[in-house]
Amino acid sequence: MSGSRIYMDWNATAPLLPEAREACLSALDLIGNPSSVHGEGRAVRTLIENCRRDVAALCGAKASSVIFTSGATEAANLVLTPDFRMGRTPLKIGRLFASAIEHPAVREGGRFPREAVCEIPVTSEGVVDLSALQALLAAHDRTLGLPMVAVMLVNNETGIIQPIAEIATIARGHGAILVVDAVQAAGRVPLAIEDLGADFLILSSHKIGGPKGAGALVARGEVMMPVPLIRGGGQEKGHRSGTENPVAIAGFAAAARKVGADVAARMAAITALRDRLESEMLTAAADVVIHGRDVSRVGNTVFFTLPGLKAETGQIAFDLEGVALSAGSACSSGKVGQSHVLTAMGYDPRQGALRISIGDATTPAEIERCAAAFAKVAGRRRASGQAA
């Protein structure tokens, strides 16, 4: 990264880890097709199966339950479907209950018809309303099929950690399938599919320092599985056809190995930097609103609103100061729109909010530079009469 700029948008994409780069380059030298039975093909197959074990280890799952995909969006569309199988027996899912703060890849409902998607509200603090979830599942008509619940573990905009274990208890009480988007949680909070009580986890390579173009759907078991989204040659045990991408998968697995180690110690250091930044932001602008500050958050994210400063204006201002940050989700084709997360929390979304997200390579010096840029932007806002 250039010395004149600092990258504070790790939730959008984490910088490629050196270990992931090396793994990708090494995999490029393997010429076989992983479905071929000759030695060259078996070498690639061995690589992929070793990578499957590494990704499984990141979330405490069985290697046999990891399905590699092109990314988290494909994984979401694979699992979010009304059509499942229990072994060879068709299993109907009648309705999808997705939280109001889900990433668009989940919020759009995957293969469910729009009328079969129901929104779970959240509190003003951005946490799933457990009473509302209980009521929605109690009212579900089981003659339509089983209910499915989709809730992300860590919100990509606010960094707020959702009470997945409690949600899992409620879901189990109503016979619901629980899908957890763990994209922003991987490598940042302890991740064990059994402890969470999730039936499926969604992962993304480039959010943890691997290459773009790889992800995974991780199942707790192998009996209850969604009908395939992509049909063809039957790769990934028939769950996802198409020749696997060993280069991206190798980088994904290398990143999984790296971020899965010493999570608590790594995140303690990152959280200390985040807290230092927030303290300086509050000193520079006492009226700054840091969303989710009073609830459990992952330690690398600051989602804030400067009253009187619109998100798109602020993003440009920070960019001119050499700071790369974002206005919420980065998965909207470069658009800066109103945050559905803020709307769900009861805030006026028209002003919007900005997100700073950091990681292992973020330095104290970069935190100071970011704080200085924030002070400049906030100061210009005051000078122009945008704030008291």
Residue 331 bears catalytic tag:
yes
Pure H helices in 207-339: 246-259, 263-284, 311-320
* Bridge partners (DSSP) listed for residue 203: 216
- Would you place residue 2 in the very low, low, confident or very high pLDDT band (cuts 50, 70, 90)? very low
Mean pLDDT of the chain: 94
Above pLDDT 70, what percent of the chain? 95
CATH number at residue 139: 3.40.640.10
What is the structure's pLDDT at 327? 85
Domain ranges, residue 117: 20-259
368 and 282 within one domain: yes
170 and 116 within one domain: yes
Quick check: helix, strand or coil at residue 10? coil
316 and 270 within one domain: yes
Q: What is the pLDDT of residues 294-323, one digit of tens each?
A: 999 999 999 999 998 999 999 999 999 999
- Give the E-state strand segments of 40-105 in sequence order: 66-69, 83-86, 89-99
87 and 199 within one domain: yes
Residues in the chain, overall count: 388
Are the CB atoms for 242 and 232 separated by under 8 Å? Answer: yes
Out of 51, 118, 331, 370, the active site residue is: 331
Q: What is the largest CA-CA distance in the chain?
A: 72
- Per-residue pLDDT, averaged over 201-207, amounts to 98
> Looking at the 3D structure of the chain, how many domains does it have?
2
C-alpha distances (whole Å) from 316 to each of 287, 351, 373 are 21, 14, 12
Q: For residue 154, what are its two tokens?
A: 């860590």
Give the domain-ending residue among 237, 259, 281.
259
What is the structure's pLDDT at 3? 56
Separation of alpha carbons 88 and 224, rounded Å: 9
| Domain membership flag for residue 388 | no
What is the structure's pLDDT at 382? 67
166 and 112 within one domain: yes
| Domain membership flag for residue 279 | yes
- Tell me how far the alpha carbon of residue 81 is from its chain's centroid: 19
What is the structure's pLDDT at 388? 41
52 and 138 within one domain: yes
Above pLDDT 90, what percent of the chain? 90
- Would you place residue 1 in the very low, low, confident or very high pLDDT band (cuts 50, 70, 90)? very low
Q: What is the pLDDT of residues 28-39, one digit of tens each?
A: 999 999 999 999
Q: What is the pLDDT of residues 243-264, one digit of tens each?
A: 999 999 999 999 999 999 999 9
CATH number at residue 272: 3.90.1150.10
227 and 307 within one domain: no
Q: What is the pLDDT of residues 70-124, one digit of tens each?
A: 999 999 999 999 999 999 999 999 999 999 999 999 999 999 999 999 999 999 9
208 and 277 within one domain: no
Q: Give the pTM.
A: 0.94
What is the structure's pLDDT at 4? 86
354 and 232 within one domain: no
What is the structure's pLDDT at 384? 62
Separation of alpha carbons 173 and 5, rounded Å: 50
- Per-residue pLDDT, averaged over 336-365, amounts to 90
Q: Could you tell me which residue, 320 or 381, shows the higher pLDDT?
A: 320
- Per-residue pLDDT, averaged over 7-19, amounts to 98
- Per-residue pLDDT, averaged over 168-191, amounts to 97
